[in-house]
């Protein structure tokens, strides 16, 4: 008597995993711009092969993207054989999770304006709540308060070696602080916010990282001579800031205006700028060596458009 064949094993549908999404996940990646797809990959963790952790928050990421677009820090952490390579995990215990989330969004989309306005932890973190995050109400209110966020982004971009993000943050800092190059508002009106901003810029950047420091210094020198309220107000504000930030006082003592510094490489308009010690450390005069002159022109920032670099 022939033995009955065993019943066929029912087919079991493959279960989607975190790193390899099922059909629904794949369909999410169809259509839209490259920027939209990159954002969806970041938000949902499709094909993630690396996690970034920061004060209890976890972000799904991708080694190839962080290596190619993230900056020097991520490239070294992933490719140089550090512990992060074996664990596929990068821990950033000292950073603000909100800033890290914004940086990741910029790395994936290259859209600085979008990464500033969105709610970073709600959109990207695998953990609910805002544990370890800085209170973002500090970025609300006056122009100096709003510029503080760009200062934090600039400092983080400098730390991670992301030049593109650094320049985007610098331009945004310039636009916010100077009201698009007008330098109009009286500093004394928002003095507490100005003091906090200037102090943060000087504390979060090394002495040779001049870009944000120079913008603050230029604004202070402008305020001293042309405060919209009164000359006395400009002098009083300057004194209060110099007393509270010693490195700012040193810069103030060693820099001065130069009218018609040159023409902006971006907008081709003539602009004035500040000049300080020469690249070869000559001070108070400046030498005329080609290398020193080129260094001064390269570091200048046009107060009209925010572009960097001067011609002539």
Question: Is the pLDDT assigned to residue 11 strictly greater than 50?
Answer: no
Q: What are phi and psi of 262, to 5 degrees?
A: 170, -170
Task: Give the pLDDT confidence of 157-175 residue by residue, as tens digits.
Answer: 999 999 999 999 999 999 8
Range from 10-24, 31-45, 188-202 that averages highest in pLDDT: 188-202
Q: What are phi and psi of 87, to 5 degrees?
A: -85, -10
pTM: 0.83
As a whole number of angstroms, the distance between CA 243 and CA 23 comes to: 62
pLDDT of residue 195: 93
Which one is predicted more confidently, 285 or 211? 211
Domains of the chain, each with CATH number or no CATH: 32-124 (3.30.710.10), 162-254 (no CATH), 258-312 (no CATH)
Distances from the Cα of 17 to the Cα of 32, 62, 252, angstroms: 24, 16, 58
As a whole number of angstroms, the distance between CA 269 and CA 306 comes to: 11
Radius of gyration of the chain (CA): 25
pLDDT of residue 142: 87
Q: Which residue has the tokens 């006395």?
A: 232
Each as own residue / partner, the long-range contacts of residues 188-194 (CB below 8 Å, 24 or more positions apart, any chain) are 188/227, 188/229, 188/233, 188/234, 188/236, 188/237, 189/142, 189/229, 190/142, 190/143, 190/144, 190/145, 191/237, 191/240, 193/141, 193/142, 193/144, 193/145, 193/148, 194/144, 194/237, 194/241
Task: Give the pLDDT confidence of 39-55 residue by residue, as tens digits.
Answer: 888 888 888 999 999 98
Angle among Cα 104, 301, 189 to the nearest 5 degrees reads 85
Asked if 59 contacts 65 with a C-beta cutoff of 8 angstroms, the reply is no
Angle among Cα 69, 70, 75 to the nearest 5 degrees reads 100
Question: 281: how many CB neighbours lie within 10 A of its CB?
Answer: 8
pLDDT of residue 32: 73
pLDDT of residue 8: 47
Q: Is the peptide bond before 284 cis (omega within 30 degrees of 0)?
A: yes
pLDDT of residue 259: 75
pLDDT of residue 226: 61
Question: Is the pLDDT assigned to residue 28 strictly greater than 80?
Answer: no
Q: Walk across the sheet containing 57-61 and list its strands.
A: 57-61, 50-54, 89-91
Question: Is the pLDDT assigned to residue 139 strictly greater than 50?
Answer: yes
Task: Give the pLDDT confidence of 206-222 residue by residue, as tens digits.
Answer: 998 999 999 999 888 87
| Six token digits for residue 30 | 């169809």
Residues in the chain, how many?
Answer: 312
Q: Which residue has the tokens 């991708």?
A: 62
Specify the 3-state DSSP secondary structure of 5: coil
Which one is predicted more confidently, 21 or 262? 262
Share of the chain above pLDDT 70, in %: 79
Q: Which residue has the tokens 């002495």?
A: 207
The predicted model gives 84-101 an average pLDDT of 88
pLDDT of residue 244: 92
pLDDT of residue 104: 96
């Amino acid at each position: 008597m022939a033995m009955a064949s065993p019943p066929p094993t029912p087919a079991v549908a493959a279960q989607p995993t975190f790193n390899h999404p099922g059909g629904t996940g794949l369909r999410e990646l169809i259509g839209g711009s490259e920027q939209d797809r990159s954002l969806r990959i970041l938000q949902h963790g499709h094909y993630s092969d690396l996690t970034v952790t920061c004060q209890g928050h976890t972000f799904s990421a991708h080694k190839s993207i962080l290596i190619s677009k993230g900056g020097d820090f991520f490239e070294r952490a992933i490719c140089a054989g550090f512990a992060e390579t074996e664990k596929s995990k990068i821990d950033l215990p000292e950073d603000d999770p909100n800033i890290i989330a914004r940086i990741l969004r910029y790395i994936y989309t290259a859209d600085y304006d979008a990464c500033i306005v969105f709610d970073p932890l709600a959109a990207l973190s695998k953990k609910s709540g805002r544990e370890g995050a800085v209170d973002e109400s500090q970025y609300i209110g006056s122009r100096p308060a709003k510029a503080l966020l760009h200062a934090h982004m600039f400092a983080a971009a400098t730390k991670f070696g992301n030049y593109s993000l650094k320049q985007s943050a610098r331009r945004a800092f310039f636009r916010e602080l100077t009201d698009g190059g007008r330098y109009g508002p009286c500093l004394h009106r928002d003095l507490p916010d100005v003091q906090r901003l200037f102090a943060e810029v000087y504390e979060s950047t090394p002495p040779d990282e001049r870009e944000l420091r120079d913008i603050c210094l230029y604004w202070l020198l402008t305020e001293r001579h042309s405060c919209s309220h009164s000359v006395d107000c400009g002098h009083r504000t300057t004194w209060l800031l110099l007393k509270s930030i010693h490195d700012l006082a040193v810069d103030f003592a060693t820099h001065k205006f130069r009218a018609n510094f040159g023409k902006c490489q971006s907008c081709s308009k003539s602009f004035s700028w500040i000049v300080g010690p020469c690249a070869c450390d000559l001070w108070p005069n400046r030498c005329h060596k080609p290398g020193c002159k080129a260094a001064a022109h390269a570091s200048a920032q046009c107060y009209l458009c925010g572009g960097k670099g001067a011609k002539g």
